[in-house]
Amino acid sequence: MRDRPPSAPETSPAPGTRRRVVRLFTPYRAAICAVVVLIAAYSALNAAVPLLTREVFDRALFGPGGPDLPLLALIAGLAAAVACAVGVVDLGQTWLSARVAQRVVHGLRTEMFGRLQRMPLSFFATERGGEIQSRLAGDTAQIEYAVKDTLPGMLSGVTGSVVAAGAMAALSPALAGVALVLAPLVLLVASRSGRALENLSAVSQRARAELSSIVAERLSLGGVTLARVHGRRDDEAARFAAESERLARLGVRAGMVAQWVMSVGHVFFVLTPYLVFVAAGLTDGITPGTLAAFTVLQARLYQPLWQILHVVTEFRSALGAFERVFDYLDLRPEPEPEPEPEPEPEPEPGPGPRRSPASGPGALAVRGAGFRYPGAAEEDRPALYGVSLGIPAASATLVVGPSGSGKTTLGHLIAGLHPPTEGSVAIDGEEIRAPLPGRICIATQDPFLLQGSVADNLRYAAPGATMDDLVRVCRITRIHERITALPDGYDSLVGERGALLSGGERQRVALARALLADTPVLVLDEATSALDPLTESEVVEAVLAERAGRTTVMITHRFGVLESFDTVVALDGGRVVEHGTRLDLLGDRRGLYSRMVRAQTGA
Ligand SMILES: Nc1ncnc2c1ncn2[C@@H]1O[C@H](COP(=O)(O)OP(=O)(O)OP(=O)(O)O)[C@@H](O)[C@H]1O
């Protein structure tokens, strides 16, 4: 289950959303005020042009005494100056809006990325890859567009309409009244269809997220291989096509609703000038110049109205995007480790040999620890429970047990990948509730290699490592020869998730990377499972021989011939059933470890 608040339906943004959006922009209020001023200046300058048109008609061309060419030239010069000023103001406004939009979106993106990085691993086990991608890239792009284009569009629409209406009223209050009489009707139609468009946009956004989830999962190396192996390529294509067609249909519907508004508006737009002409015919003292200026202003009145309608729709769908982003920002990340924890009392050793209290760098103490995966049913037993172990510094411990007995879970608790849901795990008296880089490292069965070279991947653990360091750890994991045989040696690329290497090679590179981290504690969770048995025991023996005081906890299924361990821990059903030296446990012929060794060696 996801540890997150349920998201509200996308068609009705939560009441807090608008307030949160406003808060996001509060730090930029100075820039936003400047944008408003620039937009007002832009609208005012634009409104000046029709007034110049009136002067052209009434004084320069058809004034008393015939055409006045010097005046016409002056007006043309003024119009050019106004046009330049409009350009400059528009540039400034665009620059400021783009800056605010980019800052806000950059802030949201980085905060979201940071928040997701700190989420418990169970979140990534349940959340779909495409969903994260869709929110981090798709929704933020929609917000960016809304802030950069939509918001200034709305402001300039409002100021443009107000200024145009004001100029019309100044020219002739009576004609202005006639020209504005249809405006409320236009707004009504638009607001109705705006809501329909908003719903369509929310549904489209969900379809888009579904589409990117399919792409992320099914067009990965593993997804494509699976589909080929099982002959399901056509089914996959059909599933994608169905979702894509849904999106396409939604797109057509949205286009039709938008066009319907435009068409209705167009009728009003064509009709209104004639209403004005009729009114002008019935009113005394309307000059041709006033009428010409009026016609231009009318266009300036209705065009911004369309802009507002369009913008309101965009903004309402951007609210949906904001909400999906906030939904991720509200996720509860794993708590950060305490800066200075209380020292832990020494643990009671679990079943097994009595040793002197473990101390020193890398001593592990597991006290009554347990773990229940989030979402597991209450009545199910926890994956791990009541585990108490003292693992002395510099020792080598083998963890064995049947599949599903909790070995990996124990390894994850020691590595701090999950905080225990009961009891505690500590290193040198300090509780482990989160990964401790530099102190504990884990190498897993399914290692993750990043795009880049072998050397890049190794140096992820120790950016300052020299070539000699890389060679040293790669010799221990018996991968050095193989790397030098690659076309570019340590600079050879490993491909997506290391796909250009074999499974065993990937594991050995990852194990070398873990060794390079040089931590006092190393957990190996079936980290050599893809190797042939001979190489595996060679690698394991070499890792143990060169551990130089490092505490090593090794989880493996193939332990039959492994002898270099101080202690063996056997898990069954989520708890420790045996804990002792190898020879002690072998002595108990009915014990789990002893039976498993016999099963493997046939002895
Ligand atoms: N992410 C998870 N969410 C829910 N349950 C899980 C999760 N991971 C493991 N489990 C369950 O917890 C139990 C212990 O799993 P764990 O991986 O620790 O076993 P294991 O001993 O390492 O098994 P194997 O030898 O097969 O790797 C299993 O019953 C498993 O189904």
286: tokens are: 């309307």
Q: Is 137 touching ligand 1 by the criterion CB < 6 Å?
A: no
Residue closest by Cα to atom 16 of ligand 1: 406
pLDDT score at 396: 93
Ligand 1 atom 3: the closest Cα is on which residue? 373
Above 50 in pLDDT, residue 161? yes
CB 31: neighbour CB atoms within 10 A? 16
Whether the predicted pLDDT of 341 surpasses 60 = no
Tell how far the Cα of 574 is from the centroid of ligand 1, in angstroms. 9
- Give the pLDDT score at 10: 40
CA of 405 relative to ligand 1 center, distance in Å = 7
pLDDT for the residue 135 = 85
Say which residues have a Cβ less than 8 Å from residue 37's Cβ, sequence separation at least 6: none
Give residue 268's Cα distance to chain centre. Answer: 45
pLDDT at 8: 36
In short, whether 262's Cβ falls inside 6 Å of ligand 1 is no
Most distant CA pair in the chain: distance in Å?
A: 125
163-174 core/surface letters (b: 16 or more CB in 10 A; e: else): bbbebbbebbee
Residue 513 CA, ligand 1 centroid: distance in Å: 25
Give percent above pLDDT 90 in the chain: 31
* Distance in Å, CA 402 to ligand 1 centroid: 11
- Give yes or no for residue 289 CB within 6 A of ligand 1: no
Q: CA-CA distance, 136 to 335, in Å (whole number)?
A: 22
Choose between 420 and 295: higher pLDDT. 420
Report which of residues 126 and 349 the model is more confident about: 126
Long-range contacts of the stretch 284-288 (C-beta < 8 A, 24+): 286/172, 286/175, 287/54, 287/57, 287/58, 288/57, 288/58, 288/62
What digits encode the pLDDT tens for the residues 206-226?
788 888 888 888 888 778 878
Q: How far is the CA of 409 from the centre of ligand 1 (A)?
A: 7
Q: What's residue 167's pLDDT?
A: 83
Q: Which atom of ligand 1 is nearest to 125's Cα? A: 1
Bridge partners (DSSP) listed for residue 480: none
How far does residue 418's CA lie from ligand 1's centre (Å)? Answer: 13
* pLDDT tens readout for residues 370-429: 999 887 777 888 999 999 999 999 999 999 999 999 999 999 999 998 899 999 999 999
Q: What pLDDT score does 546 carry?
A: 86
Sheet containing 575-580: order of strands: 440-443, 521-525, 551-555, 396-400, 567-572, 575-580
The protein residue whose alpha carbon is closest to atom 28 in ligand 1 is 404
**CA-to-CA distance for 250 and 200, rounded, in angstroms?**
7
- List the one residue out of 57, 62, 255 whose CA is nearest residue 171: 57
Cβ(406) – ligand 1 distance below 6 Å: yes
pTM for the predicted model, two decimal places = 0.71
CA of 523 to the centre of ligand 1 (A): 17
pLDDT of 355 > 50? The answer is no
CB of 370 shorter than 6 A to ligand 1: no
Most confident of 41-45, 268-272, 312-316, 452-456: 452-456
**What's the 374 CA to ligand 1 centre distance in angstroms?**
12
Minimal-distance CA residue to ligand 1 atom 25:
403
User: Which DSSP helix (H) or strand (E) runs through 298?
Assistant: helix 288-329
pLDDT band at 127 (very low <50, low <70, confident <90, very high): confident
For ligand 1, say whether the CB of 444 is within 6 Å of any of its atoms: no
The one-letter code for the residue type at 323 is E
What is the atom index within ligand 1 of the atom nearest the CA of 375?
4
SS (H, E, C) 366-397: EEEEEECCCCCCCCCCCCEEEEEEEECCCCEE
Q: What is the pLDDT of residue 338?
A: 57
pLDDT digits (tens, 9 = 90+) for 560-589: 767 788 899 999 999 999 999 988 998 888
At residue 4, does pLDDT exceed 60? no
CA of 227 to the centre of ligand 1 (A): 26
Q: How far apart are CA 431 and CA 425, in angstroms?
A: 6
Average pLDDT over residues 112-136: 84
Distance (Å, whole) CA 523 – CA 547: 12
pLDDT value at residue 431:
92
Is 388 a pocket residue for ligand 1 (Cβ < 6 Å)?
Answer: no
Distances (CA, A) of 559 to 267, 402, 541: 83, 13, 12
Q: Kindly state if the Cβ of 114 falls inside 6 Å of ligand 1.
A: no
Q: Determine whether the shortest distance from the Cβ of 87 to ligand 1 is under 6 A.
A: no
pLDDT tens-digit readout, 177-207: 888 877 787 778 777 777 777 777 778 877 8
pLDDT of residue 39: 85
Whether pLDDT at 346 is above 60: no
Q: Which residue has the higher pLDDT, 404 or 157?
A: 404
Distance CA 522, CA 278 (A): 89
574 CA: nearest ligand 1 atom = 14
Q: CA-to-CA distance for 473 and 263, rounded, in angstroms? A: 72
Q: What is the pLDDT of residue 516?
A: 93
Residue 485 has pLDDT above 90, yes or no: yes
Both tokens of 175, joined, read 């004609």
Tokens of 41: 């200046």
Among protein residues, the one whose CA lies closest to atom 26 of ligand 1: 403
Tokens in use for 364?
């592990």
Amino acid (1-letter code) at residue 193: S
> In sequence order, which residues have a C-beta less than 8 Å from that of residue 83 and are 6 or more positions away?
49
> Can you tell me the mean pLDDT for 1-18?
50
Closest protein CA for atom 31 of ligand 1: 404
Q: Distance between CA 295 and CA 300 in Å, rounded?
A: 9
Q: Please indicate whether residue 405, judged by its CB atom, sits closer than 6 Å to ligand 1.
A: yes
- pLDDT attached to residue 6: 38
Q: Kindly state if the Cβ of 383 falls inside 6 Å of ligand 1.
A: yes
Angle at 240 between CA 9 and CA 257, to 5 degrees: 50
Distance (angstroms) between ligand 1 centre and the Cα of 410 equals 10
- How much is the average pLDDT of 463-480? 94
Looking from the CA of residue 412, the nearest atom of ligand 1 is 18
Given a contact cutoff of 8 angstroms between Cβ atoms, the answer to whether 10 and 201 are in contact is no
CA–centroid distance, residue 404 to ligand 1 (Å): 5
Output the pLDDT for position 13: 52
**Within 10 Å of residue 415's Cβ, how many Cβ atoms?**
24
| CA separation, residue 228 to residues 218, 219, 232, 233, 500 (Å) | 11, 11, 6, 6, 19
Nearest atom, ligand 1, residue 401 CA: 21
Which residues, in sequence order, are bridge partners of residue 205? none
